[in-house]
Amino acid sequence: MAHSPTEKKVFFLSHSFFRFKAEELSHYLNTLAQELAKRGWEVTLILPHAPGLAGEERLAGMKLLRFRYFFEKWENLAYTGDMAERVQKSFFYKIVFLFFLAAFFLKTRKMVKKEEPALLHAHWWIPGGLVAYGHSFFSKIPYLVTLHGTDLMLLRKSGFLRKVAKKVFNRASRLTVVSSFLKNELISLFPQIEAKTAIIPMPIDPEALRREPKAKPSERIILSPARLIEQKNLGTLIEAFSNVAPEFPDAKLLIVGSGPKEAELKNRVRHLDLEKKVEFLPSMPPPKLGGLYQATEIVTLVSKNEGFGLVLVEAFLFQKPVVAARSGGATDIVTDGENGFLVDPDNPDEIADALKKLLADADLRERMGKNGHRTYVEKFSPAKLAEKFDRLYSELTQA
């Protein structure tokens, strides 16, 4: 029996969310939930426990429910961004992950019985989508799965996971992905789900980004917010900047992020004699990053096969032109020559040329920045994206 469309209650199932306001993790889920609340939806997040976190709390009207899954000392699978790697590499964490899945399922089952939501929205197909799939055998409540990118990349590497995912996707009422790149990747693996797959990006939080005052650097900043991992292609960006620096002595490359490639990237900077021209800052929460965006002249994201590219949307919020890889989700955001430049991520000369054009021409920077802000308002504002999910939720719960 279908739920009445007046029962506008949805459960988000996720293993990722910020544990405290200063953490940078998955703020977009909070932004989406707050926007959906404005449209009458009551959102509850079911999340894993971690040391120091309450079992239940409220955040701006949204309920957070956390499930215990192991001895507290070892409840550290979530909130670190490396769950998949840990489970793959460690037999112990494989066992912990089985406890995690069981506890996630039992918590979801218990809360669905108690609160009777109209819809389950799983973020990432594993573990949340797998839990929603298991729950579907006990309930007729529809479920929706959103793939964010990292979970889709797992499917390229494992035939076993593809078999599991196929069951999750086939039984889901709908699926969403955050970019056309990810949709193409998904449909190449599972062509049968194309008709029920939609592209809806995740929203940024403009209020959080605007909270800090503008930074006051003495140099002209080229900003690259990115995790220090191979996929982000920062070595090529540094090489490109070595071509820019002699021509623009007041330019500085600011890389904001943390990750395993930090030592290697800093060695590369030393090797190119750029220590005074390239600065590394650790990952930072949206408000502090917003202060940097305001003070920056150009934002770059030259990663390969980026699932979406939220930093480009954040740059557009602050009317900043961008230089982005002609790869992955960035091509959904950047129109080459209008709101930024799309470049070959393997060609440091092409990246350098785009940076030089923008550094040399204030009118071009201003025009592209304004066009970027128009793109943000028309395509990527939280209100626009929540409206799409609202329509999709209503369609599923009235079916």
Are 192 and 216 found together in one domain? no
Token digits of residue 312 = 């480009």
Q: Range of 342's domain?
A: 207-380
The CATH number of residue 101's host domain is 3.40.50.2000
Are 248 and 184 found together in one domain? no
- CB neighbour class for 250 (10 Å; exposed up to 12, middle 13-18, buried from 19): exposed
Are 393 and 340 found together in one domain? no
Helix (H) or strand (E) holding 254, with range, is: strand 251-256
Are 154 and 219 found together in one domain? no
pLDDT averaged over the chain?
Answer: 93
Per-residue pLDDT tens for 213-256? Answer: 777 777 899 999 999 999 999 999 999 999 999 999 999 999 99
Are 48 and 193 found together in one domain? yes
3-state secondary structure of 354: helix
Measuring CA to CA, which residue among 112, 303, 326 is closest to residue 225?
Answer: 303
For the segment 41-65, the average pLDDT, to the nearest whole number, is 93
Are 366 and 390 found together in one domain? no
Are 190 and 289 found together in one domain? no
Q: Report yes or no on 119 lying in a domain.
A: yes
Report the chain's C-alpha Rg in angstroms: 22
Read off φ and ψ for residue 225, nearest 5 degrees.
-80, 115
Q: Which long-range contacts (CB under 8 A, 24 or more apart) does 387-390 make?
A: 387/39, 388/198, 388/200, 389/32, 389/36, 389/176, 389/200, 390/36, 390/39, 390/41
3-state secondary structure of 105: helix
Are 220 and 276 found together in one domain? yes
Helix (H) or strand (E) holding 179, with range, is: none
Give the sheet arrangement for strand 322-325, strand by strand: 278-281, 251-256, 220-225, 298-301, 322-325, 340-343
Q: Report yes or no on 3 lying in a domain.
A: no
Are 194 and 213 found together in one domain? no
Are 177 and 211 found together in one domain? no
Q: With 50 as the cut, is the pLDDT of residue 1 above it?
A: no
Asked if residue 55 lies in contact with residue 66, where contact means CB atoms within 8 angstroms, the answer is: yes
Are 249 and 324 found together in one domain? yes
Per-residue pLDDT tens for 326-385? Answer: 999 999 999 999 999 999 999 999 999 999 999 999 999 999 999 999 999 999 999 999
